[in-house]
Structure 1
Amino acid sequence: MRTGRPRARELTADDYVNVLRELIGAGLKRVYFTGGEPLTSKLAQPVLTQLPDHGPDVSYTLITNGLLVRTHQDWLATTGLDKVKVSLHYFSDDSFRAIAQTRSSIVTVLDGIEAAREMFERVELNTLIQRENEHELRDILTFALDRRMPIQFIELVDTDFNADRKSSAVGAQSIVDYLRTLTSQEEIEVSGVGQGRRIFRVDGVEIDVIHRELGRHRVGQCGTCPLRAKCIEGFWALRLDHSGGLQPCLLREDLRMDILPMLAEPERIPAAVAQHVSAFTEGVL
């Protein structure tokens, strides 16, 4: 049962870096640093400034709310990050406070986006569609297009983590309809990404809409999962937490793999992870 209490931190910066090095060496292609807000962590600087070297087919992405990007600009500029993705779920102080329950100003977020653009070639936005920001979606889209930043609009995923936001959920159809007035370039992707998505291109800028009506990607373990009725995302990522737990599904802590016993010999981790994921996708975990 989920208690809501955070686990004690046990992984060090060196642990994270070593695990990444081994998994990338074994074929991991995309790494996302997310949270919460990753830039509030004391491990953010030592991890992000020591990222293992990688080839052109591997990418590191920081997902942030933008509030601390300018504050940490000096060291962020020295990292090996390939991309920064800023969560822009609001476009005014009123919607910012209604959604995030904060006294901060949207000005700080927008400045954080500009700071990211000063440091990194690729900066993207993602916007969670909610009743509180529905009237601002076109303004957010215009902001992105004016700066030629890719943007993703996401329907609210109903999980234990955002149960208090359930009443804010609205569909993506209105933004889909609006995008169709701007472009005829529309594609649909329905496998391998969790929820299905619509991909639009406006003057060469990519806009994704995560659209639940397109379904989601399932694997073997999902077939008999008792939580399937609550699952929106499907299988799309492995999540490594600060306590050494690796989960192929956010809703199933009982399927969590503990890598702490292997940290002294990190070269053992890729094979163990591969075995765990194979068992999950085959439905025998």
Structure 2
Amino acid sequence: MTIPLPIAGLDWTALRNFAALRGQLRVSLTPICNVKCWFCHNEGDVPPPFTHLHRDAKPRARELTAEDYVNVLRELIGAGLKRVYFTGGEPLVSRLARPVLTRLPVRGPDVSYTLITNGLLVRTHQDWLATTGLDKVKVSLHYLSDESFRAIAQTRDGVAAVLDGIEAARETFERVELNTLIQHENEHELRDILAYALERRLPVQFIELVETDFNADRKSSAVGAHGLIDHLRTLTREEEAVVSGVGQGRRIFRIDGIEIDVIHRELGRHHVGQCGTCPVKAKCVEGFWALRMDHAGGIQPCLLRDDLRMDIRSLLDQPEQVPAAVAQHVAAFTEGTL
């Protein structure tokens, strides 16, 4: 989709509302990963397990340089986006990880930078990661044994490498969190993962499956959060349901001051104008909660609709124009006119 140049008198309300409601800017540094988790959605690109099975299905080619990333980030943060998450694939696989993460724009009030990683390369890159402006590292921990790690991530590695990556992150950053997808393959380990997190005083987010075209054939692996929620209620009475803001509703539990976050689809999600007539709304459990910027120069407001992806490559030599173009795109999305 080709975007028009920014226009005078543009209404910034939709973008500013999105930012005020704690919407995320998810920045994918690469579609490549060193594992092949069956459920991967790859931020809307072709995920590694699908590429492994279908060699002709390739992710988009990289178009952005480290300089492009830093310039666009600076402008979007200046326009009010405050929560930046670096993703992949596995972001630490990318050769752009170091030049981008060590040159992050100076943070303004309430701006935060988070790295989302599978943990396998944190120890390898620990020295230079310590020099970055990252506020937080979020490690995916969907397994606590070699058997479940290999079943879920389709790798020959052992889970010890992931756990060592978590320890390396704890040595380097003040804030480390975990996230765990609830699924049949790890249902027997969920309580152990929770105990592991609590013992190390690590906040953890448990997430229900987001169905995409790439993982629909594994729908039987999806497990609801009810069992975990029931268990958490035996451990604490501190529970809060959050249904405001953007994205899915969630239940927040606090155990000895540690926050346990459960993304729970039964609490609903935040949909906006474009979602009203969306042909995939029935299977969307997320709503509009993130703007995804990819390595090929695209930005899209929805994981399931790459036809809503906008192309900012023509603006890379004028990055100061990107925020207005994004604001125009978000406004059209929320008004249902995109």
Q: Give the drift of 1:212.
A: 1.0
State the alpha-carbon separation in 2 of the partners of residues 85 and 121 from structure 1.
12
Residue range with higher mean Cα deviation, 226-235 or 179-188: 226-235
Question: Which runs of structure 1 show a deviation greater than 6 angstroms over 4 or more consecutive aligned residues?
Answer: none
> In structure 1, what residue type is equivalent to 2:155?
T
> In structure 2, what residue type is equivalent to 1:231?
C
> In structure 2, what residue type is equivalent to 1:127?
T
Tell me the secondary structure at the aligned position of residue 84 of structure 2: strand
Aligned counterpart for 2:74 among listed residues 6, 11, 21? 21
* Structure 1: 5+ residue stretches without partners: none
Tell me the secondary structure at the aligned position of residue 304 of structure 2: coil
* Equivalent residues in 2 for 1:57-136, closer than 5 Å: 57-136=110-189
Tell me the secondary structure at the aligned position of residue 242 of structure 1: coil
Query: Would you say 1:247 and 2:300 are equivalent positions?
Result: yes
State the alpha-carbon separation in 1 of the partners of residues 242 and 334 from structure 2.
20
Deviations 1:151-173 (A, max 9, x none): 00001111124334322111111
Q: Relative to structure 1, is the Cα distance of residues 165 and 191 closer, same or farther in structure 2, using a 3 angstrom cutoff?
A: farther
Tell me the secondary structure at the aligned position of residue 86 of structure 1: strand
State the alpha-carbon separation in 1 of the partners of residues 170 and 75 from structure 2.
30
Aligned counterpart for 1:234 among listed residues 287, 302, 319? 287
Give the corresponding residue for 2:311: 258
Query: Would you say 1:160 and 2:160 are equivalent positions?
Result: no
Give the corresponding residue for 1:209: 262
Q: Give the drift of 1:110.
A: 0.4
Give the corresponding residue for 2:86: 33
Q: Give the drift of 1:231.
A: 1.1
State the alpha-carbon separation in 2 of the partners of residues 23 and 116 from structure 1.
27
Query: Would you say 1:150 and 2:203 are equivalent positions?
Result: yes
Tell me the secondary structure at the aligned position of residue 215 of structure 2: helix
The TM-score normalised by the length of structure 2 is: 0.82
Q: Give the drift of 1:197.
A: 0.5
State the alpha-carbon separation in 2 of the partners of residues 177 and 126 from structure 1.
19
RMSD after superposition: 1.2
The TM-score normalised by the length of structure 1 is: 0.97
> In structure 1, what residue type is equivalent to 2:130?
A
Q: Give the drift of 1:36.
A: 1.4
* Structure 2: 5+ residue stretches without partners: 1-44, 47-56
Deviations 1:261-285 (A, max 9, x none): 0010100011111111011011111
Residue range with higher mean Cα deviation, 9-18 or 34-43: 34-43
Deviations 1:91-110 (A, max 9, x none): 00000001001111110000
State the alpha-carbon separation in 1 of the partners of residues 184 and 303 from structure 2.
25
State the alpha-carbon separation in 2 of the partners of residues 253 and 131 from structure 1.
29
Give the corresponding residue for 2:191: 138
Q: Give the drift of 1:191.
A: 3.0
Tell me the secondary structure at the aligned position of residue 133 of structure 1: helix
State the alpha-carbon separation in 2 of the partners of residues 259 and 86 from structure 1.
30
Tell me the secondary structure at the aligned position of residue 175 of structure 1: helix
State the alpha-carbon separation in 2 of the partners of residues 98 and 30 from structure 1.
32
Q: Give the drift of 1:252.
A: 1.1
Give the corresponding residue for 2:10: none
State the alpha-carbon separation in 1 of the partners of residues 126 and 217 from structure 2.
33
Tell me the secondary structure at the aligned position of residue 137 of structure 2: strand
Higher relative contact order (CA 8 A, sep 6+): 2
> In structure 2, what residue type is equivalent to 1:162?
N
> In structure 1, what residue type is equivalent to 2:144?
F
Q: Give the drift of 1:55.
A: 2.3
- What is the total number of aligned residue pairs between the two structures? 284
State the alpha-carbon separation in 1 of the partners of residues 122 and 144 from structure 2.
18
Aligned counterpart for 2:241 among listed residues 188, 197, 217? 188
Give the corresponding residue for 2:23: none
Query: Would you say 1:225 and 2:278 are equivalent positions?
Result: yes
State the alpha-carbon separation in 2 of the partners of residues 277 and 183 from structure 1.
40
Tell me the secondary structure at the aligned position of residue 115 of structure 2: strand
Tell me the secondary structure at the aligned position of residue 132 of structure 1: helix
State the alpha-carbon separation in 1 of the partners of residues 132 and 151 from structure 2.
33
Give the corresponding residue for 1:49: 102
Q: Give the drift of 1:5.
A: 2.2
State the alpha-carbon separation in 1 of the partners of residues 218 and 293 from structure 2.
25
Residue range with higher mean Cα deviation, 123-132 or 227-236: 227-236
